[in-house]
Amino acid sequence: MRARPTAFVDSERFWVELYERGGNSGSGSYGKLAEFKAEFLNRWVRDHDIQAIMEFGCGDGNQLRLAAYPSYTGFDVSPRAVAMCREQFANDKAKSFRLVSEYDGERAQLVLSLDVLYHLIEDAAFTEYMHRLFASADVFVIIYSSNSDVGQAEGMPEVKRRRFTDWIDVNAPDWTLVNKTPNRHPFSGDAKTGSQSDFYVYQRQKDGWLRSRHGRVQRSW
């Protein structure tokens, strides 16, 4: 269910109002799309012995139900979304949730951005988000998003397609794309059954190698 606000003002207000109206994180966080995302992320966390994960844009928490993370902190702009997550995971001491405005420089081995970038309409909001995303990660950043500035969605002012890899090439030179995994369910006209988002994994480069619990391996794509 997406209880859309009556008018689009800006990115943050759109999502705050959507959750206040009883909306959710959308089809990408449910069903087979959520299962695909969880399978990829859980495997990456396990194979690379990740102990601490942060996410900017945790949404309603439904995607997180499928996660197997040792320690997780989720941030969101929506007070209602944060409250929903805290309620769902009240008995899970490994998970905590805060407003983005409460972020205070914390860091994690892995930082996630899942279906967020194309909802950052304002260039200033996109730039601030990207700087925070990479500054807060010690080893990996995983982005799940479309990566094209063509094919803008008509009648959806909350969507702006971006080629975010160009921004990273210029503004995050210490990070290297080490894995790109296409969506198992590519978009074919119905957002409930397919997505334009793919996985992009970036690693902070210290010695040019991708580390895993199984030893040193070169790029995985």
Where residue 150 falls among pLDDT bands split at 50, 70, 90? confident
Q: Give the model confidence (pLDDT) of 34-69 as tens digits.
A: 999 999 999 999 999 999 999 999 999 999 999 999
Domain-wise residue ranges, the chain: 11-217
Predicted confidence (pLDDT) at residue 221 exceeds the cutoff of 60: no
* CA 218 – CA 221 distance, rounded (Å): 9
Among 154, 141, 152, 142, which Cα is nearest to 196's? 152
**The token pair that represents 70 in the structure block:** 């040792």
pTM: 0.86
Q: Give the model confidence (pLDDT) of 7-43 as tens digits.
A: 676 888 887 888 888 887 776 678 899 999 999 999 9
CB-CB contact of 50 with 111 (8 Å): no
What dihedral do alpha carbons 96, 30, 149, 190 form, nearest 10°?
-170
The CATH superfamily assigned to 11-217 is: Vaccinia Virus protein VP39 (3.40.50.150)
72 pairs with which residues across the strands? 53, 95
Q: What radius of gyration do the chain's Cα atoms show?
A: 17
What dihedral do alpha carbons 124, 108, 163, 65 form, nearest 10°?
-100
Q: Give the model confidence (pLDDT) of 176-198 as tens digits.
A: 999 999 998 887 666 666 678 99
Phi first, then psi, for residue 12 (nearest 5°) are -65, -45
What's the mean pLDDT when you consider all of the chain? 87
Decide the pairing of beta strands 175-181 and 198-204: antiparallel
Q: Give the model confidence (pLDDT) of 157-172 as tens digits.
A: 677 889 999 999 999 9
